[in-house]
A = this chain, B = another copy of it.
């Protein structure tokens, strides 16, 4: 028989079982967190009509998209979860209740050049709140609390949510006479943290021909420790700037009631995010000990979700976590908890008699109370079966040999401690169930100890 070499394509992640359990735990934690905030789950198709998916058009997107024909159909794989949401809301507008809060955790596809840490098929975890005509600023204030809750539930501790308002930037640019070059200035300013103020000043006053005075004013505000105070001198001169400052104050003013500690958010006037898309509050989230990773959760407020599908005005606010990338970064940096159980079962039953009835009944009783149980009946040596349990990190083994059959007992072995005890089957079930509930929980991420 001719054999084909089995392989998985580069850029298409595929995890070994224990890692998959950790990844799934991250997904379920995010689902739970998003649910706490009243978001409903959606699951749109991976394949859409190309004309629908590319309605907005755009250069990079079209180059990276997986597009193909099947019969007469021109099809594409989704490259984000926002366009499918826009389509969904426009299509089902009359059947939805607004504000419409949805989360979607699903795969998207981008045919980028594969390189370390870049994926062609990857998970995004998105939430969006869509208003019908209007959407209250409170929704923008709530988003940081969701980010805070999500990463805390995952086990991350040292992270910071950076908040800005696009109206502040746009107003400031207008005031400083930079409106025409807003895009270029924004891109320069975005590199402030990376390149430092000296280099950015040169960039602004050089190639971008910004007046030195304007550049200095801009850089002073952007670098201020207390952004709102630094902006005070500009107040009352530009409507957009004033509105942005008011919105930012409102958002910040609600942080305490939303339970976000002061240590976990800050104002960062350099954050712009997508140039055309966001119009109000914008967010980025960085790991304090790994700023080089960039933002692990970003988003913001936009004025109109689905203008290319409908004349309804649908303002919204949303954030996205690039889950596959985050997972690989966490793995690489040693942030995945090694204490989280990844075993596929809680108990491995090893029958050692010809009659399997007692062993099977024990398995049935354990499963009945929610204990994940596997029967190991293969013809292998006893030692091999124990090493199977150890390799999979299964915490308990139960033996049913001739002695146990004679006395109507089962031997329960704690594979970590090595302790074992012979008890009645019903006692065995209770013991293991109790021991497991005491050990339950654990978060997928574990902060490294810093000394």
Where the two chains meet, the residues of A that have a C-beta atom closer than 8 Å to any C-beta of B are 1-9, 12-17, 20-21, 23-24, 35-49, 51-52, 55, 66-71, 73, 75, 86-88, 90-92, 95-99, 101-102, 107, 109, 111, 120-121, 131, 134-136, 138-139, 142, 145, 149, 254, 257-259, 306-311, 344-345, 348, 356-357, 360-361, 363-364, 367-368, 370-379, 388, 391-392
Q: Using A20-B40, A38-B344 as known contacts, say yes or no to A8 and B364 having CB atoms under 8 A apart.
A: no
Q: Let me know if A92 and B374 touch, CB within 8 A.
A: no
Q: Give min CB distance, A120 to chain B, whole Å.
A: 8
Q: Using A344-B38, A391-B97 as known contacts, say yes or no to A375 and B15 having CB atoms under 8 A apart.
A: no
Docked pose: A135 CA to B306 CA in angstroms: 54
Q: Using A6-B87, A9-B73 as known contacts, say yes or no to A24 and B48 having CB atoms under 8 A apart.
A: no
Docked pose: A2 CA to B136 CA in angstroms: 29
Q: Let me know if A375 and B14 touch, CB within 8 A.
A: no
Q: CB-CB < 8 A to A24: which residues of B?
A: 41, 43
Q: CB-CB < 8 A to A344: which residues of B?
A: 35, 38-40, 101
Q: CB-CB < 8 A to A71: which residues of B?
A: 111
Extra pairs beyond A15-B43, A66-B70 (6, CB < 8 Å): A4-B51, A20-B41, A35-B344, A99-B378, A138-B377, A257-B357
Among candidates B45, B102, B136, B392, residue contacting A17 with C-beta atoms closer than 8 Å: B102
Q: Using A40-B20, A101-B374, A379-B134 as known contacts, say yes or no to A45 and B9 having CB atoms under 8 A apart.
A: yes
Q: Let me know if A306 and B6 touch, CB within 8 A.
A: yes
Docked pose: A258 CA to B364 CA in angstroms: 6
Among candidates B1, B67, B254, B375, residue contacting A307 with C-beta atoms closer than 8 Å: B1
Among candidates B257, B259, B310, B378, residue contacting A3 with C-beta atoms closer than 8 Å: B310
A90 to chain B: closest residue by CB? B6
Q: CB-CB < 8 A to A121: which residues of B?
A: 45-47
Q: Give min CB distance, A115 to chain B, whole Å.
A: 14
Q: CB-CB < 8 A to A52: which residues of B?
A: 4, 6-7
Q: Give min CB distance, A194 to chain B, whole Å.
A: 31
Q: Give min CB distance, A259 to chain B, whole Å.
A: 4
Q: CB-CB < 8 A to A120: which residues of B?
A: 47
Q: How many copies does the complex hold?
A: 2
Q: Which has the most chain B C-beta neighbours within 10 Å: A6, A96, A344?
A: A6
Q: Let me know if A91 and B7 touch, CB within 8 A.
A: yes
Q: Using A52-B4, A71-B111, A101-B344 as known contacts, say yes or no to A88 and B14 having CB atoms under 8 A apart.
A: yes
Docked pose: A378 CA to B134 CA in angstroms: 8
Docked pose: A276 CA to B341 CA in angstroms: 39
Q: Let me know if B46 and A107 touch, CB within 8 A.
A: yes
Q: Give min CB distance, A104 to chain B, whole Å.
A: 10
Q: Using A6-B90, A9-B73 as known contacts, say yes or no to A373 and B38 having CB atoms under 8 A apart.
A: yes
- 22 A-B pairs with CB atoms under 8 Å apart are A4-B51, A6-B52, A6-B309, A7-B91, A8-B91, A9-B47, A14-B88, A17-B41, A20-B43, A23-B43, A36-B371, A37-B372, A39-B344, A45-B121, A46-B46, A68-B68, A101-B344, A134-B379, A136-B378, A142-B375, A257-B361, A258-B360
Q: Using A95-B16, A111-B70, A135-B378 as known contacts, say yes or no to A310 and B6 having CB atoms under 8 A apart.
A: yes
Q: Give min CB distance, A410 to chain B, whole Å.
A: 14
A88 to chain B: closest residue by CB? B14
A253 to chain B: closest residue by CB? B357
Q: CB-CB < 8 A to A306: which residues of B?
A: 6
Q: CB-CB < 8 A to A20: which residues of B?
A: 40-43
Docked pose: A95 CA to B311 CA in angstroms: 55
Q: Let me know if B136 and A37 touch, CB within 8 A.
A: no
Q: Let me know if B379 and A35 touch, CB within 8 A.
A: no
Q: CB-CB < 8 A to A46: which residues of B?
A: 46, 107, 121
Q: CB-CB < 8 A to A43: which residues of B?
A: 14-15, 20, 23-24
Q: Give min CB distance, A134 to chain B, whole Å.
A: 7
